[in-house]
Amino acid sequence: MSDDWGDEEPGIEAQPFELDERDEPGAELPEREPGRLFGVDIADVANALAAPAIRAVVQKAVTGAVKDAVQAEVDEALDPSVIEELQAQAATAARRAVTAAMDALDEEPADEQPTLYYGSVDEFVREYLVKNYRRRVDGQRTVWAADWWNYPEATIRLDALWRAWEHLRLDPTTGMSVWYRDHAEHHMSVLLDPSGPFAAAGEGKNRENVNEKGAELPYTAPPDGLYPDLR
């Protein structure tokens, strides 16, 4: 073997080649009569897609042109003096709106409790309870005290009945039903029980604590000023 590298045979030289015109981007393809490929009619597909494609291209071009034209008109219309006027008017409108809203808040009435129908527990017992919750009271099996205000537990229960009635009367649908079911029946059952708050009442010295069947519950007015009107 020779050590003379100069005697080495030259390697293979790459030869330049030209691209087929059909491979160049944007080159027009040669004419070929449309046929069918895999059962698809190429001409039919082209006809179906041509119009939508044209519309899409035209729409895009028109939209861009109109957008540019509108932007140019707006830029021309909104010169610095116009923008300054708009800012001044907007500031005035905002200031007036805030002032009006704050004035309206100041004029809103505070939440008020509904006016009492009966001014006191005494008026409630006298005008409503004894007239509408009628039970036969004999002083033995069923008891009641005409001077109910002399019995602390009874007074508390009657006051609770009154306040529940004042609240539930505002419900025009089931308010009174709820009052009878959840309040009146409960407290009155305790009050009329011979071992309840009126256990010591008995018939009374002059039978003032008893009544006849269907009559109002016995009632004696409390001392003046004991139950002032709260309305």
222 and 121 part of one domain: yes
Tell me if 143 is assigned to some domain.
yes
Contacts of 22 (CB under 8 A, 6+ apart): 29, 30
Task: Count structural domains, the chain.
Answer: 2
84 and 153 part of one domain: no
Which of 63, 79, 106 finishes a domain?
106
Tell me the C-alpha to C-alpha distance, in Å, between residue 103 and each of 93, 108, 110, 205.
15, 9, 14, 66
DSSP state of 36: E
In this prediction, residue 20 carries a pLDDT of: 56
Tell me if 35 is assigned to some domain.
no
Q: What is the pLDDT along the chain (231 residues), one digit of tens a residue?
A: 545 545 555 555 555 555 555 556 556 778 888 888 888 888 888 888 888 888 888 888 888 888 888 788 777 777 888 888 888 888 999 988 888 888 888 776 666 778 999 999 999 999 999 999 999 999 999 999 999 999 999 999 999 999 999 999 999 999 999 999 999 999 999 999 999 999 999 999 999 999 999 999 999 999 999 999 999
102 and 157 part of one domain: no
**Distance in angstroms (rounded) separating the CA atoms of residues 130 and 218:** 7
88 and 124 part of one domain: no
Tell me if 158 is assigned to some domain.
yes
Which of 59, 75, 106 finishes a domain?
106
Minimal CA–CA distance to 213: which of 136, 149, 150? 136
98 and 145 part of one domain: no
Which of 79, 106, 133 finishes a domain?
106
175 and 149 part of one domain: yes
Q: Which domain holds residue 183?
A: 117-231
Q: Are 144 and 218 in contact (CB under 8 A)?
A: yes
The token pair at 183 is 């309040």
Tell me if 6 is assigned to some domain.
no
126 and 198 part of one domain: yes
141 and 56 part of one domain: no
96 and 121 part of one domain: no
Residue type, 151: Y
Tell me if 152 is assigned to some domain.
yes
Tell me if 14 is assigned to some domain.
no
Tell me if 54 is assigned to some domain.
yes
In this prediction, residue 43 carries a pLDDT of: 83
Tell me if 21 is assigned to some domain.
no
123 and 79 part of one domain: no
223 and 142 part of one domain: yes
49 and 138 part of one domain: no
In this prediction, residue 16 carries a pLDDT of: 59
Contacts of 134 (CB under 8 A, 6+ apart): 214, 215, 216, 217
Global pTM?
0.54
